């Protein structure tokens, strides 16, 4: 029985066998490289390595992932985003010290050997055989570059990264084959340049330019000798030689690089000694990556840009392709964000609603006629800390938002526009009782709705008859219930679709008469863009956030354009302008009125006061403001918002002033054109000369006489015998 060797180390026989095996393997590899025409070579038993000639001849070099810069409409920087912090530079922009240092420590014979270094292999074999392990490698700088390309192609996929770095003979053979090809096609200087741009220097820095900025806050071309040596030393083990976390170990490694540079005559021994005596002096620039770095609350808009890119087929046929393109980065994205508007939105929202309030606020402003998103902000900052969120409260769910919020009475103008398009007169009067059931049945797009639901007005004093102008100014619920019941639900659904007004969760609009009261959840961006159609003569333009994109090579990429379409006639739009201007002049939205500027808008409050809104516009800007609980749990009764106590929150008392202040700042110093309107001299209740008669049944005409010889249109509700129908007023 063989005697067990003490110490557990390899025996001389094991060392000899290992040395012999590695030597034979090296010889086989070298023979294969020298004789590629020999066909598939049995480089290992049982075909564990693919045939040398079967490996693709050309290395597919992926575009290096770089940071993308997102700019506002004036060219100011919003944020830099990247999966890897890298800035590709040419050799002329890399310090000669850096070029010499990396070659000296990683591959001193780089300019003397070809793709492989025979002397290096033999030296490594001898060293490893003596140590009984793998204490020294023999990869050339070209081979290291090839391995980095494999890692770059793997991206963030852990399985692919593992495959790219696995220590197998098969991978090494592929690495050698590609290295030979690159030496022929690129040459030494180009390989060195590529290597310095692709390799990892720790601290999230990829490439020498990013590394120079990270550790020394300077460009790679300005690196001093001792600084270049420090960076070159990091490459072998970025965590071990990290100068931020272990300056002593980094200093020892730097000095090793300096001595190596002296040994190969890149610098004198005196230079090496002098540089080694200097302490490591860092000027660290911490990574500033992602939308969290955006200023003026533009983090959510920044994230919206990413969502647009990932969701739009203009940037790739599949989401996988778009995601890969985004992660590669290197783009400069010019957006529609107007810095003046953005600052004004964020200032107004932050002053009226605090980040630690029990409710939140979001606001968005778009440009009528172009669909450009000019600003987007909210009270809870973009981030991960307390009172912060990454949910964009201004947009739909599939674009990074939540489930949306009931817009309340801000939906009523959509119903009014649909009715006007159907031929309803703006002078149309309804009895508009304080409380009523929804008339049933009501026609839908594909049948009819039936039910027994009831609704009521905000105040008991709100009892008609009302015409459209007064009912809009006072936001009379029962007027709009009677209106949608008369014309049917389908025209309102079709009008909403033409105005781009859809549910935030992506589901189809429910065809129910209560839709007239805004009971289906929507987003501020959707409502702002929809209202912009009123300001734009009835033409709706879909929201856009990107003006242009150039890639890392300066090539222009195609970007999605706004799609504009006629949602209603100009006459209808002008009529709505008149109705909604009355809201801010004499109605529920007086607190939102703008000084010295023509404006229009509508207040809204949802069921149980989970949300309050103001949506309004001028000829050159349309904006929507929402205030509420994103979780739909906190009712806004007996609540303090922005330091102001409220018994009840209305669209007029919190969203209205936010809208007013945001729009005032956004439009300061800019033209103040007048809204296009039509005269509507609604006589209101006083014009109802006819005497309202009792109806003979639900939705049946009364027998009173309307003013100016017009027929009465009274309503009778058997469920509420105390409510009498009223005749239509004079036109």
568: exposed, middle or buried (Cβ count in 10 Å: 0-12, 13-18, 19+): buried
Residue range 683-705: mean pLDDT, rounded:
37
Q: Residue 544's closest CA among 190, 329, 304, 223?
A: 304
Helices (DSSP H) in 353-426: which residue ranges?
412-421
Contact call for residues 376 and 394 (beta carbons, < 8 A):
yes
Longest dimension (CA), the chain: 125
Q: What angle do CA 373, 592, 340 make, to 5 degrees?
A: 35
Residue 199 pLDDT? 94
- Name the DSSP class of 409: G
Residue 119 pLDDT? 66
Helices (DSSP H) in 82-157: which residue ranges?
96-106, 118-131, 141-154
Q: What is the Cα–Cα distance from 249 to 636, expressed in whole angstroms?
A: 59
Backbone conformation region of residue 345, classed left if phi is above 0, alpha if psi is from -120 to 50, else beta: alpha
Residue range 446-468: mean pLDDT, rounded:
91
Q: What is the Cα–Cα distance from 110 to 104, expressed in whole angstroms?
A: 9
Q: What is the Cα–Cα distance from 404 to 606, expressed in whole angstroms?
A: 12
Contact call for residues 289 and 85 (beta carbons, < 8 A):
yes
Residue 612 pLDDT? 94
In this predicted structure, the answer to whether residue 34 has a pLDDT above a threshold of 70 is no
More confident residue, 525 or 167: 525
Q: Given pLDDT bands bounded at 50, 70 and 90, which one contains residue 120?
A: low
Residue 82 pLDDT? 87
Q: Which helix (H) or strand (E) holds 469?
A: helix 468-474
Task: Note the pLDDT tens digit of each residue in 366-396.
Answer: 999 999 999 999 999 998 888 999 999 999 9
Residue range 318-333: mean pLDDT, rounded:
91
Q: Which pairs from 112-120 meet CB under 8 Å and 24+ separation? A: 113/140, 114/180, 114/183, 115/140, 115/142, 115/143, 115/176, 115/179, 115/180, 115/182, 115/183, 116/30, 116/33, 116/140, 116/143, 116/176, 116/179, 116/180, 118/30
Q: What is the Cα–Cα distance from 306 to 289, expressed in whole angstroms?
A: 14
Residue 83 pLDDT? 80
- Name the DSSP class of 242: -
Helices (DSSP H) in 354-436: which residue ranges?
412-421
Q: Given pLDDT bands bounded at 50, 70 and 90, which one contains residue 328?
A: confident
Q: What is the Cα–Cα distance from 369 to 383, expressed in whole angstroms?
A: 33
Which CATH class, in words, describes the domain spanning 13-276? mainly alpha
Report helix, strand or coil for 323.
helix
Contact call for residues 313 and 558 (beta carbons, < 8 A):
no
Q: What is the Cα–Cα distance from 247 to 183, expressed in whole angstroms?
A: 36
CA 707 to chain centre: 57
Share of the chain above pLDDT 70, in %: 81
Residue 115 pLDDT? 65
In this predicted structure, the answer to whether residue 41 has a pLDDT above a threshold of 60 is no
Residue range 572-601: mean pLDDT, rounded:
93
Residue 156 pLDDT? 66
Residue 298 pLDDT? 96
Q: Which residues, 6+ apart, have CB-to-CB distance to 392 below 8 Å?
A: 300, 303, 304, 362, 376, 378, 399, 400, 401
Report helix, strand or coil for 284.
coil
Q: What is the Cα–Cα distance from 88 to 80, expressed in whole angstroms?
A: 15
Which of 37-46, 338-347, 606-615 reaches the highest mean pLDDT?
Answer: 338-347
Residue range 160-175: mean pLDDT, rounded:
73
Residue 163 pLDDT? 73
More confident residue, 84 or 214: 214
Contact call for residues 516 and 503 (beta carbons, < 8 A):
no
Looking at the DSSP bridge assignments, the partners of residue 544 are 372
Task: Note the pLDDT tens digit of each residue in 625-637.
Answer: 999 998 888 889 8
Cα–Cα separations (whole angstroms), residue 228 to 224, 280, 564: 6, 11, 56
Report helix, strand or coil for 496.
helix
In this predicted structure, the answer to whether residue 46 has a pLDDT above a threshold of 70 is no
Residue 682 pLDDT? 60
Q: What is the Cα–Cα distance from 213 to 525, expressed in whole angstroms?
A: 39
In this predicted structure, the answer to whether residue 271 has a pLDDT above a threshold of 50 is yes
Residue range 276-288: mean pLDDT, rounded:
91
Q: What is the Cα–Cα distance from 693 to 4, expressed in whole angstroms?
A: 116
Residue 122 pLDDT? 62
Residue 60 pLDDT? 57
Residue range 432-441: mean pLDDT, rounded:
93
Contact call for residues 432 and 500 (beta carbons, < 8 A):
no
Residue 709 pLDDT? 31
- Name the DSSP class of 332: E
The whole-chain average pLDDT of the chain stands at: 83
Task: Note the pLDDT tens digit of each residue in 536-570.
Answer: 999 999 999 999 999 988 999 999 999 999 999 99
Looking at the DSSP bridge assignments, the partners of residue 376 are 364
Q: Given pLDDT bands bounded at 50, 70 and 90, which one contains residue 493?
A: very high
Q: Which pairs from 251-255 meet CB under 8 Å and 24+ separation? A: 251/279, 251/280, 254/226, 254/229, 254/230, 254/280, 255/229
27: exposed, middle or buried (Cβ count in 10 Å: 0-12, 13-18, 19+): exposed
Q: Given pLDDT bands bounded at 50, 70 and 90, which one contains residue 691?
A: very low
CA 620 to chain centre: 25
Share of the chain above pLDDT 90, in %: 64
Task: Note the pLDDT tens digit of each residue in 463-489.
Answer: 989 999 999 999 999 999 999 999 999
pTM score: 0.78
Residue 36 pLDDT? 35
Q: What is the Cα–Cα distance from 129 to 488, expressed in whole angstroms?
A: 89
Residue 714 pLDDT? 36
Residue range 82-105: mean pLDDT, rounded:
94
Q: Residue 397's closest CA among 519, 307, 515, 314?
A: 307
Q: Given pLDDT bands bounded at 50, 70 and 90, which one contains residue 118?
A: low
Domain chopping of the chain, boundaries: 13-276, 408-667
In this predicted structure, the answer to whether residue 687 has a pLDDT above a threshold of 60 is no
Report helix, strand or coil for 659.
helix
Handedness of CA 83, 89, 95, 98 (dihedral sign): positive
CATH of span 408-667: 3.40.710.10
Backbone angles phi, psi at 376, to 5 degrees: -155, 115
Task: Note the pLDDT tens digit of each residue in 187-209.
Answer: 899 999 999 999 999 988 999 99
Q: Residue 298's closest CA among 361, 364, 342?
A: 342
Contact call for residues 724 and 694 (beta carbons, < 8 A):
yes
Backbone angles phi, psi at 651, to 5 degrees: -60, -25
Q: What is the Cα–Cα distance from 470 to 680, expressed in whole angstroms?
A: 10
Q: Given pLDDT bands bounded at 50, 70 and 90, which one contains residue 148?
A: confident
């Amino acid at each position: 029985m063989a005697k067990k060797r003490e110490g557990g180390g390899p025996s001389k026989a094991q060392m000899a066998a290992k040395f012999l095996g590695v030597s034979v393997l090296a010889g086989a590899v070298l023979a294969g490289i020298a004789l590629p025409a020999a066909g598939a070579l049995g480089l290992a038993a049982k075909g564990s390595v693919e045939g040398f000639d079967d490996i693709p001849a050309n290395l597919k070099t992926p575009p290096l992932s770089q940071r993308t810069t997102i700019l506002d409409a004036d060219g100011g920087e919003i944020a830099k985003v990247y999966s890897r912090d890298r800035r590709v530079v040419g050799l002329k922009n890399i310090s000669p010290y850096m070029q010499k240092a990396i070659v000296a420590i990683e591959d001193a014979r780089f300019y003397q050997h070809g793709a492989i270094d025979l002397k290096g292999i033999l030296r490594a074999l001898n060293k490893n055989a003596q140590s009984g392990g793998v204490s020294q490698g023999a990869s050339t700088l070209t081979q290291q570059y090839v391995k980095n390309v494999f890692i770059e192609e793997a991206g963030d996929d852990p399985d692919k990264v593992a495959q790219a770095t696995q220590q197998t003979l098969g991978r090494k053979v592929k690495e050698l084959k590609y290295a030979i090809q690159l030496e022929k096609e690129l040459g030494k200087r180009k390989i060195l340049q590529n290597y310095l741009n692709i390799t990892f220097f720790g601290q999230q820095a990829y490439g020498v330019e990013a590394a120079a900025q990270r550790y020394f806050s300077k460009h790679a071309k300005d690196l001093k000798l001792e600084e270049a040596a420090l960076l070159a030393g990091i490459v072998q083990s970025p965590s071990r030689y990290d100068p931020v976390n272990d300056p002593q170990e980094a200093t020892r490694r730097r000095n090793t690089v300096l001595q190596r540079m002296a040994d190969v005559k890149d610098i004198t021994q005196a230079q090496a000694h002098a540089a080694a005596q200097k302490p490591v002096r860092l000027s660290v620039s911490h990574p500033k990556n992602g939308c969290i770095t955006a200023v003026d609350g533009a983090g959510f808009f920044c994230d919206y840009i990413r969502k647009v890119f990932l969701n739009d087929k203009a940037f790739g046929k599949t989401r996988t392709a778009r995601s890969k393109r985004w992660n590669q980065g290197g783009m400069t994205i010019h957006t529609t964000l107007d810095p003046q508007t953005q600052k004004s939105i964020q200032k107004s929202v932050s002053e009226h609603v605090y980040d630690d309030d029990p409710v939140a606020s979001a606001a968005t402003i778009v440009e009528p006629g172009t669909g450009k998103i000019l600003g987007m902000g909210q009270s809870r900052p973009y981030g991960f800390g307390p009172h912060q969120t990454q949910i964009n409260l201004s947009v739909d769910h599939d674009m990074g938002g939540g489930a949306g919020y009931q817009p309340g009475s801000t939906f009523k103008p959509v119903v009014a526009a649909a009715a006007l398009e159907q031929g309803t007169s703006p002078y149309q009067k309804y009895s508009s009782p304080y409380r009523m059931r929804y008339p049933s049945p009501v026609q839908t797009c594909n049948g009819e709705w039936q039910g027994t639901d009831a609704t009521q007005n905000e105040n008991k004093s709100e009892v008609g008859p009302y015409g459209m102008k007064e009912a809009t100014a006072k936001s009379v619920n029962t007027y709009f219930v009677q209106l949608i019941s008369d014309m049917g639900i389908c025209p309102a659904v079709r009008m909403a679709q033409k105005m781009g007004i859809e549910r935030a969760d992506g589901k189809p609009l429910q065809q129910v008469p209560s839709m007239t009261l805004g009971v289906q959840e929507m987003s501020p961006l959707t409502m702002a863009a929809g209202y912009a159609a009123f300001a734009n003569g009835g033409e709706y333009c879909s929201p856009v956030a990107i003006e242009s994109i150039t890639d890392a090579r300066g090539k222009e990429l195609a970007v999605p354009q706004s799609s504009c379409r006629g949602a209603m006639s100009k006459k209808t739009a002008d009529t709505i302008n008149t109705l909604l201007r009355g809201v801010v002049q004499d109605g529920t939205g007086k607190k939102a009125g703008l000084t010295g500027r023509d404006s229009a808008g509508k207040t809204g409050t949802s069921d149980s006061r989970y949300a309050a809104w103001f949506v309004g516009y001028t000829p050159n800007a349309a904006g929507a403001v929402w205030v509420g609980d994103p979780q739909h749990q906190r009712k806004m009764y007996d609540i303090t918002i922005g330091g102001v106590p409220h018994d009840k929150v209305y669209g007029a008392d919190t969203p209205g002033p936010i809208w007013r202040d945001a729009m005032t700042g956004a439009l300061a110093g800019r033209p103040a054109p007048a809204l296009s309107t039509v005269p509507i001299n609604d006589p209101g209740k006083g014009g109802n000369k006819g005497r309202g008669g009792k109806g003979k049944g639900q939705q049946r005409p009364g027998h009173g006489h309307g003013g100016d010889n017009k027929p009465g249109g009274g309503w009778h509700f058997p469920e509420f015998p105390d409510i009498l129908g009223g005749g239509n007023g004079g036109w």
